[in-house]
């Protein structure tokens, strides 16, 4: 089994070998994934609000 420390080191080595474009694509993908999770959480808690209001609340969460 790989330890958390080794896992982090291996991940860092892999990322360092990637091009800037590849790293940026991963960053954008993670950002999109986080926004989708936040949007779903907001929607679940506020069923009757508009898409515009959901967008505002998502933006507020990212500013924190």
Q: Over the chain, what is the mean pLDDT?
A: 94
Q: Cα–Cα distance between 56 and 59 in angstroms, integer?
A: 5
**Euclidean distance between CA atoms 20 and 32, whole angstroms:** 18
Q: pLDDT confidence of 4, banded at 50, 70, 90?
A: confident
The count of structural domains within the chain is: 1
Mean pLDDT of 21-43: 96
Residue-number span of the structural domain to which 34 is assigned: 20-63
Residue 11 domain flag = no
């Amino acid at each position: 089994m790989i330890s958390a420390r080794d896992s982090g080191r291996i991940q860092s080595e892999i990322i360092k070998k990637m091009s800037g474009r590849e790293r940026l694509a991963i960053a954008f993908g993670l950002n999109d994934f986080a926004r989708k999770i936040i949007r779903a959480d907001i929607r679940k808690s506020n069923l009757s609000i508009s898409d515009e209001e959901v967008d505002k609340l998502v933006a507020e969460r990212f500013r924190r």
